[in-house]
Amino acid sequence: MRNIVVLLFDQASILTLTGVLEPFALIGEVDQPDIRNPYTIWLVSREGGPVKTLIGHSMDTLSIHDIRDMPIDTLMIPGGFGTQLAIYDEDLITWISDRAGSIRRICSLGTGVWIAAETGLLDHRRVVVHWRLLDDFTRQYPNVCSEAGSLFLQDGPIWSSPGLAGAIDLSLALIEEDLGRGCALILARLLVVFMKRPGGQPQLSAALCSQAEGSDRFDGLHSWIMANLHRDLSVDQLADVARMSVRNFTRVYQATTGTTPAKAVEALRLEAVGRALLETNARISDIAQRYGFGDEERMRRAFMRKFGVGPSAYRLQRRTGGPTALGREAVANEHVGPRLVMERERLGNQPDSVPLSRINAPEPRGTALRLKPFRQRAQFLLELGNERPSARFSPEKH
């Protein structure tokens, strides 16, 4: 049996925790004679006993001392508001460091990456961080090669995921590594997830960015565009679908979404092309035709503008987990939404020369969080999934 140990602490995120564990729990539902569930899941904490999660629910745990002789296959470190106190728990950090050499995989989920980074195990390794927290994490742990362009990322024995949706994909990737692609795909269908996505998928989709920037007025149009990417999606065609005059459609669309119809179409096409590059072995020329670019060169130029690399290099880097060629400007554009991208382009959109990973002299660990007022720390450590710190919890009282 393979022991999966989940390290809990007060105010840990139960949402991310259940998301990452559910695929493992469902393996018994896979109707394949050659597949047996090899995993045993253990919940542990520093002292053992009940641990109160972010939503106030308590979970029973073993003490880290109770499992001193247990072989650990995979260690899961969830995030949550409690990470800002857990990084100061010397016993917890020391236990992770001492056991790390015998653990096959260490997985940080959401803000759990702060706990893993505090041990020093992430130094000079690549990890993915929630896009809103990238700059804070990079300042506090400059020796970690942090980025924000993926749903999950593996660098040797270190796995990381920035939030709930990525945690599910990370679990499916772990299961695929152990039990094969077929089992992972069956579990993806059981979980009713859209697909078993590669880790290279962006954290935020182009459609989601458009929705975040404006109202729901053009949601139906965006759905139609995504279903018809192979067609000629001229402004005239889009205005006809929206049942508006061309002039009025162009004006209202840009005022509502913060970008032009042409740029929105290109963003949706690039997102679809990115999935096709990672999930299929189709020729790049065929992908360009399938998603409306017409020819390979036109698609290559669009890729270079957004990602800083061509389609072939994008496919190779994301599949192999090699060094990413996405610059800070490309990553930022991928996540801030079209309105800010448009403003950057208006101002000249000068590339930022600062790389995503900064290998400089490290700051003293823990200082950034300690100096933040409580309200700022609460915002700083928010996770995906509408999680909020408990109103009853205040670090100043501990």
**Which among 172, 195, 197, 178 is positioned nearest to 26, based on CA atoms?**
172
Token code pair at residue 39: 């995993």
Q: What is the DSSP string of 283-296?
A: -HHHHHHHTT--SH
Q: Compute the average pLDDT of residues 329-344.
A: 37
pLDDT digits (tens, 9 = 90+) for 238-288: 999 999 999 999 999 888 888 899 988 998 898 888 888 877 888 999 999
Average pLDDT, the chain: 76
Helix, strand, coil proportions of the chain in percent (round to 5)? 50, 10, 40
**Alpha carbons 84 and 92: distance in angstroms, whole number:** 13
Q: What is the DSSP string of 374-394?
A: HHHHHHHT--TTT----TT--
The confidence score (pLDDT) of residue 358 equals 29
Note whether 2-190 and 206-346 share their fold.
no
Q: Are 159 and 152 in contact (CB under 8 A)?
A: yes
CATH architecture of 206-346: Orthogonal Bundle (1.10)
Token code pair at residue 351: 């590339």
**Alpha carbons 347 and 367: distance in angstroms, whole number:** 35
Handedness of CA 178, 181, 187, 192 (dihedral sign): positive
- CATH for 2-190, options being 3.40.190.10, 3.30.830.10, 3.60.70.12, 3.40.50.880: 3.40.50.880
pLDDT above 70 as % of the chain: 73
Q: Compute the average pLDDT of residues 27-50.
A: 87
Q: Which residues fall within 8 angstroms of residue 49, CB to CB, at 6 or more apart?
A: 60, 61, 63
**Alpha carbons 158 and 181: distance in angstroms, whole number:** 20
**Alpha carbons 239 and 243: distance in angstroms, whole number:** 6
Q: Compute the average pLDDT of residues 332-338.
A: 37
The confidence score (pLDDT) of residue 36 equals 81
pLDDT digits (tens, 9 = 90+) for 68-80: 999 999 999 999 9
The residue ranges of every structural domain in the chain are 2-190, 206-346
For residue 50, name the pLDDT band (cuts at 50, 70, 90).
very high
For residue 379, name the pLDDT band (cuts at 50, 70, 90).
very low
């804070």: which residue's tokens?
136
Token code pair at residue 223: 């759905």
Whether the model clears a pTM of 0.75, i.e. scores above it, the answer is no
Per DSSP, the three-state class of 196 is coil
Handedness of CA 86, 92, 97, 100 (dihedral sign): negative
